[in-house]
Amino acid sequence: MSISRALPGCLRVCAFLLGAGLVAGIAQAQQEPTWLSDTGIRAYAVTGTARFAQPVPPAGVAAVEPSHGSFSPIQLVINLANRLRDIRYKRGGREPSTGFDCSGFVRYVFRQGIGADLPNTSAAQFQAGQKIARTELRSGDLVFFRTAGKRISHVGIYTGDGEFIHAPSSGKRVSISRLSEPYWARRFAGAKRPQVLAVLNSDDRRNQG
């Protein structure tokens, strides 16, 4: 068979292989969670080396040295929250592409960070989880405020050292504030530990006991 007669068949084979490769690539992209590309944490998911380690201990308590390659759920939450800094505020916003309101930001971080579903509103989030004193705050806990009358109307994620990250209000962006700032200190309503973190803390105490 001459080269000129065989060439069309080769082209058809090449086109088939190229098409199959594109389909496989699209299928892989559809299977991959969008939050991996949004947050840059993809490496932890695809390497298979990530393991949950001990949660962050309270101030003054020595940390348990994690094993090599471990990555705690609290670290995932805090790292993801920080990666979302500067996302604009949007009332009712639930995604980075549209912007966040306070409860939408918190819910997105916990769902995409560690797969935990929290209620939709700050008031409902305040009703869930374990109540803790301000002196017991640990990274990953939720802090609540009354910014509009007596009802719970704002929530943020405590990051340690008296700071919390949140989607403040219209015209602002996801940022870090201090609990000691006069505005937030006057409106502080309490703190809750999400159930998923309360369970982890309980498991840690049993393992250490």
Domain ranges of the chain: 73-208
Please give the residue that has the higher pLDDT: either 78 or 18.
78
Helices (H) and strands (E) in the chain, counts: 8, 8
Helices (H), ranges, the chain = 3-31, 34-39, 42-47, 73-83, 102-114, 122-127, 182-187, 195-208
pLDDT at res. 49:
34
Whole-number average pLDDT of the chain: 76
pLDDT above 60 (res 2): no
68 is catalytic: no
pLDDT in tens, 98-124: 999 999 999 999 999 999 999 999 999
Please give the residue that has the higher pLDDT: either 154 or 199.
154
**String of b and e for 28-40 (b: at least 16 CB within 10 Å)?**
eeeeeeebeebbe
pLDDT in tens, 156-191: 999 999 999 999 999 999 999 999 999 999 999 999
pLDDT in tens, 28-42: 444 444 444 444 444
SS3 14: helix
pLDDT at res. 56:
40
The pTM of this model reads: 0.66
14 is catalytic: no
Catalytic residue among 10, 14, 68, 154: 154
154 is catalytic: yes
Question: What is the CATH code for 73-208?
Answer: 3.90.1720.10
pLDDT above 70 (res 95): yes
